[in-house]
Amino acid sequence: MVLKNIKLLLGMLRRDEVTRLYPEVKTEVSERWRGLHELIPTRCIGCGSCVRVCPNYCIQLVPLNYPYKNPKNKKGYPQIDIGTCLFCGLCEEACPTDALRMTTNYELASWYRHELIYSPRKLIPEDFPKRYRDEIKKLREAGKKAEKKDEKRGEKKAEKKSEKKAETKKEGEKEKGRSENA
């Protein structure tokens, strides 16, 4: 009996490990894993498709205080309650600009319920400015172009205004001349 048990033990020792010493050893997950969302703020147009499609009503659009945003977005950015999210991925599918994506981050445990509400700022990846440098550059260039356009528009308006003023002044002088002659 003892010999049998020793044999069994030796056999077990030769086997591969089936458990991991988490969190020191992390489980590798598939690239297609649906974990925590990430938000690309320069792409979000505030359309609200993610809000409408969520079956658990865990998304709402809120204001975002961040230097890199989409200037066309006037409605807000998604805030997600991870505590009620079922990680179905419908919001990611519905997003027309690829601004909301699901990452492989599965370490979301928290002691407090309120910590599970992820504001848009919390959903933006830490390395966003580095990873999306090109997008930020494009956005800045577009901003400068829009500023120039606005400036030109302003100049044109000012020109038209001064032309109108000059015309009315001329007409006034003409009328004055006519009344003096009469």
What residues from 76 to 115 belong to the interface with ligand SF4 (CB under 6 A)?
A: 78, 80, 85-91, 94-95, 97, 99-100
Q: How far is the CB of 127 from ligand SF4 (least distance, A)?
A: 19
Q: Which segment (7-15, 43-51, 122-130, 153-161) binds ligand SF4 by CB under 6 A?
A: 43-51
Nearer to ligand SF4, 53 or 136 (CB): 53
C-beta closer to ligand SF4: residue 22 or 63:
63
Residue 64 as a binder of ligand SF4 (CB under 6 A): the answer is no
Cβ–Cβ < 8 Å for 38, 104: no
> How crowded is the C-beta side of 40, counted as CA atoms within 13 Å?
20
Whole-angstrom Cα distance, residue 182 to residue 171?
A: 17
CA dihedral over 133, 138, 37, 89, signed as positive or negative: negative
Residue 171 CB, shortest distance to ligand SF4, in Å, is 53
44 binds ligand SF4 (CB under 6 A): yes
Query: Which of residues 36, 58, 64, 139 is near ligand SF4 by CB under 6 A?
Result: 58
Q: What are phi and psi of 169, to 5 degrees?
A: -65, -45
Exactly one of 36, 42, 59, 124 binds ligand SF4 (CB under 6 A); that residue is: 59
Cα 12 from Cα 10, distance rounded (Å): 5
- Is residue 27 a contact partner of residue 85, using CB atoms and an 8 Å limit? no
